Amino acid sequence: MNDILFILFGVAPSLVWLVFYLRQDDHPEPKRMILKVFFWGMLSTIPALLLELGIRRFIGVLALPKEISFVLFIFIGIALVEELAKFFVVRWKVYSNKAMDEPVDLMMYMIVSALGFSALENIFVLFNLGQAAPFDHIATLAFIRLLGATFLHALASGIFGYFLALSFFGAKKRRHYALLGLSLATLLHGFFNFTILEAQGSIRFWGPLIIFIITILFISFAIAKLKQMKSVCNI
């Protein structure tokens, strides 16, 4: 019975944020494309996790100081790997599709891919509770994931998607914008994970909250700006 609950409560946080973000799009994307990107975003979690395990072992072989190894794994082995995994789904499934006809579409598809990624990640986390886990533990963890990791994935990929959209406005700056977006998304992702795992006392709560507030304000600005650019965009 818990298996079904793990799946339902694992997917639920992503669906909540998916509905929220899709309502920000004045010209909704085809449902088939949304489902496709969400599904492949889920599947991208598997190779990402395998690659993370490989990087963790590689960093261990380097015999670096424990603190340095931990930071490298958090920012490169987890944050960078996962941001690239979510991006490759969009690069593969969306870039050449006629459904992407506005700058804001790219940002939205990045968020959809991220929410798919987070859905399977949530399921894995919930399964770790074990078959004997009571319902309230499952529901509580799912709610924490809703406001924490799932939201983080959407915000980080939203930032990446914004700069990817800007990159279409100038071929000379395309790589610079893409690299800047990836860097900011990775830093946001890494700092959030680092704060959750290492911070002590009130910083463990206020750190992620401040990060979220700043990022939410930026995402709101980014969506509004990309909507204004639709008449001059050439994707």
Assign 233 a pLDDT band (cuts: 50, 70, 90).
Answer: very low
Specify the range with the lowest mean pLDDT, choosing from 8-17, 113-122, 172-181, 221-230.
221-230
11-68 residue pLDDT tens: 999 999 999 988 877 777 888 999 999 999 999 999 999 999 999 999 988 888 998 9
Question: Average pLDDT for residues 122-130, to the nearest whole number?
Answer: 93
For 5-20, give the DSSP string.
Answer: HHHHHHHHHHHHHHHH
Where is mean pLDDT largest: 62-71, 89-98, 116-125, 171-180? 116-125
Please tell me the predicted confidence (pLDDT) of residue 19: 92
Where is mean pLDDT largest: 21-30, 70-79, 97-106? 70-79
Q: Is the pLDDT of residue 171 over 70?
A: no
Please tell me the predicted confidence (pLDDT) of residue 230: 58
Dist. CA 53–CA 65, nearest whole Å:
19
Dist. CA 46–CA 141, nearest whole Å:
21
CA atoms within 13 A on the CB side of 71: 5
Assign 98 a pLDDT band (cuts: 50, 70, 90).
Answer: confident
For 134-149, give the DSSP string.
Answer: -HHHHHHHHHHHHHTH
Dist. CA 6–CA 131, nearest whole Å:
9
Domain boundaries, the chain: 2-228
How confident is the prediction for the chain on average, in pLDDT?
A: 88
CB 153 within 8 A of CB 117: yes
Dist. CA 8–CA 119, nearest whole Å:
10
